[in-house]
Amino acid sequence: MSNSQPRLSLTLGPVLFNWSGERWTDFYNRIADEAPVDRVCIGEVVCSKRKPFRDEVILSTVDRLERGGKEVVYSTLALPTTKREIRDIRDMVEAGYLIEANDIATVHLLGGRPHVIGPFLNIYNEETLALHRELGATRICLPPELPLESIRLIAKGNEVVEVFAFGRAPLALSARCYHARAHGVPKDACQFVCDRDADGMDVTTIDGRPFLAVNGIQTMGYVVTAATHQIAALRDAGVVSLRLSPQSCDMVRVIRIFRDVADGHMTEQEATEALGVLELPGPMSDGFLRGVPGVRHFDEVD
């Protein structure tokens, strides 16, 4: 990395899947001790029914992460729908934590306090980004479907833009639980069937082609976003941070790969090849960043 180029920071996004308490805790303990990541987002984003399983260990996990030199951000629900869920978010805000807002209601509850914006809010242009900065956003992760040219226009001169650079892309949320429906159980008595799929449940088209993945009420990409070929271009566009979203693969290795390529110790091609030997839930893609369908793979000709 040239001395004239700003250092890209790395953010580990929140675990989006329903991992067991033991797996969840072990994951963050290893991140705290071994991963060269600048900040870690922690908290339940997808389904509030999962939250009680984390509450008993979240404070000790945060302490471990902070002792490991990581900045900790508390991520909030992306689709709060009940008074209890809103109350829980309000309690977190009033406790003084650094919050990642994933819903506009949370931005309202923050009342101008400094905060982070996650990729679930639709920030598609410079004017919307400017508005959120006025409302107190100090870093903004753009939605994962934006192409590089749009990112360049939005990020220019702002020094707050983060881009989703690794993981199954979060695309949409619904009040309906796809996992419960697929297993023939009602949402209110779901038996937490989403814990059967550590990286989400694959969805295929009628003719059997892999297409999307579902995670409870969430729709995700089937492919794994991997922006290894775009890191230099993203830095040149004004992006200040890359977001890596946890998957069940070796995330410490993923973080080290992105750190090495961002610092100029590994080429983009070497990084892509290094990711390719990991047990990813789907093929890698940078289609969204290239302005083509997100499912497009690296080896497909435009």
Pairing of strands 201-204, 161-173: unpaired
Q: Cα separation of 38 and 12, whole Å?
A: 8
User: For residue range 106-149, what is the model confidence (pLDDT) as tens digits?
Assistant: 999 999 999 999 999 999 999 999 999 999 999 999 999 999 99
Structure tokens that stand for 255 in this block: 């973080």
Amino acid 55: pLDDT: 83
pLDDT-above-90 percentage for the chain: 84
Amino acid 298: pLDDT: 67
User: For residue range 155-192, what is the model confidence (pLDDT) as tens digits?
Assistant: 999 999 999 999 999 999 998 998 989 899 988 888 89
pTM comes to 0.95
Instruction: Please report whether residue 267 resides in a domain.
Output: yes
Instruction: Please report whether residue 300 resides in a domain.
Output: no
Instruction: Please report whether residue 288 resides in a domain.
Output: no
pLDDT category, 46, cuts 50, 70, 90? very high
User: What is the average per-residue pLDDT within 79-89?
Assistant: 94
Q: Cα separation of 259 and 257, whole Å?
A: 5
Residue 65 in this model has a pLDDT that exceeds 60 = yes
Instruction: Please report whether residue 4 resides in a domain.
Output: no
Q: Cα separation of 14 and 18, whole Å?
A: 11
User: For residue range 241-300, what is the model confidence (pLDDT) as tens digits?
Assistant: 999 999 999 999 999 999 999 999 999 999 999 999 999 999 999 999 998 887 777 666
pLDDT category, 5, cuts 50, 70, 90? low
Structure tokens that stand for 52 in this block: 């009680």
**What mean pLDDT value characterizes the chain?**
93
Q: Cα separation of 274 and 270, whole Å?
A: 6
Rg, Å, the chain Cα set: 18
Residue 4 in this model has a pLDDT that exceeds 70 = no
Residue 64 in this model has a pLDDT that exceeds 90 = yes
Q: Cα separation of 199 and 222, whole Å?
A: 10
Q: At what angle do helices 148-155 and 126-134 cross, to 10 degrees?
A: 40
Instruction: Please report whether residue 148 resides in a domain.
Output: yes
Terminal-residue alpha carbon distance, the chain: 29
Phi, psi of 188 (to 5 degrees): -75, -15
Q: Residue 124 maps to which CATH number?
A: 3.20.20.70
Amino acid 295: pLDDT: 76
User: What is the average per-residue pLDDT within 48-73?
Assistant: 92
265: domain range? 9-169+221-279
Instruction: Report the C-alpha dihedral over residues 205, 148, 174, 110, rounded to 10 degrees.
Output: 170
Pairing of strands 161-173, 218-226: antiparallel
Q: Which residues contact 74 (CB under 8 A, 6 or more apart)?
A: 41, 42, 43, 92, 97, 98, 99, 100
Amino acid 168: pLDDT: 97
Residue 105 in this model has a pLDDT that exceeds 70 = yes
Residue 221 in this model has a pLDDT that exceeds 80 = yes
Amino acid 280: pLDDT: 97
The C-alpha angle with vertex 281 and arms to 276 and 285, in degrees rounded to 5, equals 55
Domain count, the chain: 1
- Dihedral sign (CA 106, 160, 285, 13): negative
Of 9, 38, 47, nearest to 216 (Cα)? 47
pLDDT-above-70 percentage for the chain: 97
Instruction: Please report whether residue 36 resides in a domain.
Output: yes
Instruction: Please report whether residue 186 resides in a domain.
Output: no
Instruction: Please report whether residue 286 resides in a domain.
Output: no
